[in-house]
Structure 1
Amino acid sequence: MVTATSLTVLEVGAVFLSITALLSYVNHRFIGLPTTIGVMVISIILSMVAIFLGFLGFDQLIDYEISLLNQLDFTEVLLDGMLSMLLFAGALHVNISDLKRYRLPIGILACVGTVVSAVLIATALYFMLPLLGFGLPYIWCLLFGALISPTDPIAVMGILSSAGAPKSIETVIAGESLFNDGLGVVIFVLLLGILSSGDIPTANYVAHTLAVEAGGGIVFGLVLGAILYYMIKSIDSYQEEVLLTLAGVIGGYALASHWHLSGPLAMVMMGLMLGNQGREWAMSDETRNYIDLFWELIDEILNAILFVLIGLEVVMIAYSGSLFVAGGLAIIIALFARFIVVGMTTKTFSKQLKLPDGAWKVLTWGGLRGGISVALVLQLPSGYERDILLALTYAVVVFSILVQGLSIGKVARTIQPTKEKTL
């Protein structure tokens, strides 16, 4: 059995960064897929090759890969490392005026839609999984619904732009994902607490927790954004101003987590403030250019690393024939729940939403699931239930990124921008 010797954190980071750089080169040079999708495809292929060689008796590659992955805490790397920077970078380039214009669909999909989707998915799984021999308590099904419902636009936004999708749909998908990530994490933590303690909290407790974590995260993000705004406005030196944004993201996220506030929502609010008021009133043209370039580069690098890790982590899942079928069922259920939420929203509020005809198709198919879902499922306590949910989560995430991500452009092209309704 060949294993990776015990490595330091720096050495583990160096290994995965080197793998990501190599796969990014191979994708750009020979394959030509969007970077995040391309590196994930190659890393999955490598994992499949390792598994196949293991079946043939050549265990060295898969043993080394598993040993290397065991030295990396995926949940900690994403939730405590990457997520703050990814959310800030995403929010930095979202126009608040567009968010205000489409606040109704964004609010409904991000808040009500996330909760409704979680319940629909949980209920469907609870009744259908026993047909495949995988009975799960309802609380575990709810946990799966909570972790798989938040959408992730990382792999799809560039494709939507190149496909000429209406700006309104891009805004709704981006805005929804920025806010439902934070809400999904809060709901998941609440449910995980119920699972751990066995006590069902009162409605007042749930409302208080949501108000403190979600509301507190929003307020904290606004306050921190205001502080950074005035600090950046008081000087004109791009080196220090870029450094201030980086310190605000990393330090602010750590502080929000320490105070049990929603770090994701705090980073979104801070990014929106600096990306709009800060960009217009506090930054010089030179500073604005450097901050944009810095955070775009951070975003690209972290996304590439994240999707490589998702692809490599496939070797950690013990799939069986029945689990493959269950994974396919989970994909259908997740898509159906997304269709119901989007369809009800666009149909009920069609006049108020002012979205182009057929927007429901792009909103449904463009609701990708990503790394946050994987990070959350890995937080579950070890056991039979976790193994099942881990397999189902990977099935939905991989299908979402590879199939939906690569085909969303075709779906977007079915909607003509000229048909977009004006406000």
Structure 2
Amino acid sequence: MHILDVLALFILLAGVFIYLNTYYLKLPSSVGLMILSLGLSVALFVLEYLIPEFKSGTERVLADYEYHDVLFQIVLNFMLFAGALQIDFRKLKEEKTPVLILAICGVFISTALIGFGVFYLLGWLGIEMDILYCLMFGALISPTDPIAVTSTIKKFRLSENLETRISGESLINDGVAVVLALTILDLAHAGETHTLNLFDIIWIFGTDIMGGVVLGLFLGYTGYRVLLYIDNDEVEVEILMTLALVMAGTQLAEFMHVSSKQAVVIMGLILGNEGRGSKVTSATGDYVFKFWKLMEESFNAMLFVLIGLEMLIIPWRSDYFAAGFFAFNIVLFSRWLSVFLPIKAMGTYRSFEKNTVAILAWGGLRGGIPIALSLSLPEFHGKEAIVTMTYIVVVCSVLYQGLTVPKLLKTTFPRRR
């Protein structure tokens, strides 16, 4: 099977998933896609039982094509750029500070709590894993799904401030968590060759994050200046320019050995904010933003298809699955604490609505970003455990939280008419 055939199959299944959910299931996007993904997994297991050659063929397809590189270099970067592009700091207004504190501090608190919690959990289950890989898992599972959050809260009459805090925090924590996870991964790889000292840690953080920021600022500003000269009607040129910008930024970052994820997030923030200014609005209009929103949702659907296929080849170990179910509870508690502590600290000088902590904690569904990041990780001791735990946590989060968060909102806020 040619790689284009594999890609076409993913796109076809993603389109079928979206169609079935939109017209039949009529559930929130992430919930519907996850149910269909589980259905795909069951169907594949039945085919595997009926046709023994089916499993070997699927394994060969997934092994022959380095989709991990595609996920890491293209899908993740495209999704992060699309998410950053949607962040309009002008809309955040006075909520800018609490949103940034919740997103940044929340991710660091969640990473530490999940990382150490999972480290001791795995030790109790007899699974060996380095503490840095556990912290990396804590970072990669911390980002919440902005698509699921936004689609849910729009159905209820939340105050404008609370809605801004929820959607803004969800959009920003994606980039923060991914960059932190990949930086910890670099530290873990460096620690395998020699003992890390403080200088090594500072150097890795500095080159990864600051290098990506500098590259993102340069390319983002360059792209913004180029968009100023594009004719208002040349929508296709504007879209191609943003595509070229993301691809060029990815390749340059890899060449310079800096974080491409940080670079595309910064580029998205610059174009998403400066590009909405009076000089550029007529040039980009809504077309560029709608295109990247479509890209984000399409990749999200394809990721749910991929995780359904991936379950055919990862080892079915009871200890890995047990770790996943226990990890889900750790993730829930860590999310609550990572929201509660910043809000408690900010509560001395800023007011928050009564159920803000509960809504932010329970509404923090996990989605495509953790799946893409876990599947794109390079091989290391413990990767299979991390992929399995990520799968279990995302499934439990999407189904359990996704189906119950509307009930929480319903008891707190009236439904929009």
Deviation, 1:53, is 5.3
Task: Name which of 322, 330, 333 aligns with 2:330.
Answer: 333
Equivalent in the alignment of 2:172? 176
Moved more, 362-371 or 301-310: 362-371
Deviation, 1:96, is 1.0
Equivalent in the alignment of 2:19? 25
Q: Is the 8 A contact 1:88 1:270 kept in 2?
A: yes
Deviation, 1:124, is 1.9
Look up the equivalent residue of 1:345 and give its one-letter code: P
Is residue 214 of structure 2 the alignment partner of residue 216 of structure 1?
A: no
Is residue 184 of structure 2 the alignment partner of residue 188 of structure 1?
A: yes
Aligned-partner Cα distance in 2 for 1:348–1:28: 41
Instruction: Mark the runs of 5 or more structure 1 residues left unpaired by the alignment.
Output: 1-6, 418-423
Deviation, 1:285, is 3.5
Is residue 139 of structure 2 the alignment partner of residue 143 of structure 1?
A: no
Structure 1 residues 411 and 268 mapped into 2: Cα distance closer, same or farther (>3 Å)? farther
Deviation per CA, 1:131-171, whole angstroms, max 9, x where unpaired?
33334343442332233233342333222223344323334
Equivalent in the alignment of 1:102? 95
Is residue 200 of structure 2 the alignment partner of residue 205 of structure 1?
A: yes
Equivalent in the alignment of 2:72? 79
Deviation, 1:395, is 1.0
Equivalent in the alignment of 2:383? 386
Q: Is the 8 A contact 2:211 2:258 kept in 1?
A: yes
Equivalent in the alignment of 2:163? 167
- Correspondence 1:245-284 to 2 at 5 A: 245-284=242-281
Task: Name which of 317, 320, 324 aligns with 1:323.
Answer: 320
Deviation, 1:44, is 1.8
Deviation per CA, 1:168-196, whole angstroms, max 9, x where unpaired?
33344234324323432343333332353
Equivalent in the alignment of 1:91? 84
What TM-score do the two structures reach when normalised by structure 1? 0.86
Q: Is the 8 A contact 2:121 2:323 kept in 1?
A: no
Moved more, 321-330 or 100-109: 100-109
Aligned-partner Cα distance in 1 for 2:17–2:249: 32
Structure 1 residues 284 and 143 mapped into 2: Cα distance closer, same or farther (>3 Å)? closer
Moved more, 291-300 or 131-140: 131-140
Equivalent in the alignment of 1:421? none
Equivalent in the alignment of 1:420? none
Aligned-partner Cα distance in 2 for 1:196–1:99: 43
Is residue 122 of structure 2 the alignment partner of residue 124 of structure 1?
A: no
Q: Is the 8 A contact 2:95 2:165 kept in 1?
A: no
Instruction: Mark the runs of 5 or more structure 2 residues left unpaired by the alignment.
Output: none
SS of 1:210's partner is helix
Q: Is the 8 A contact 2:133 2:184 kept in 1?
A: no
Aligned-partner Cα distance in 2 for 1:316–1:213: 32
Deviation, 1:13, is 0.9
Look up the equivalent residue of 1:17 and give its one-letter code: I
Q: Is the 8 A contact 1:359 1:415 kept in 2?
A: no
Deviation per CA, 1:42-77, whole angstroms, max 9, x where unpaired?
1221212332554x5643444443333334434322
Q: Is the 8 A contact 2:303 2:368 kept in 1?
A: yes
SS of 1:232's partner is helix
SS of 2:278's partner is helix
Deviation, 1:416, is 4.3
SS of 1:281's partner is coil
Equivalent in the alignment of 1:299? 296
Aligned-partner Cα distance in 1 for 2:216–2:249: 8
Moved more, 221-230 or 64-73: 64-73
Equivalent in the alignment of 1:113? 106
Aligned-partner Cα distance in 1 for 2:330–2:111: 11
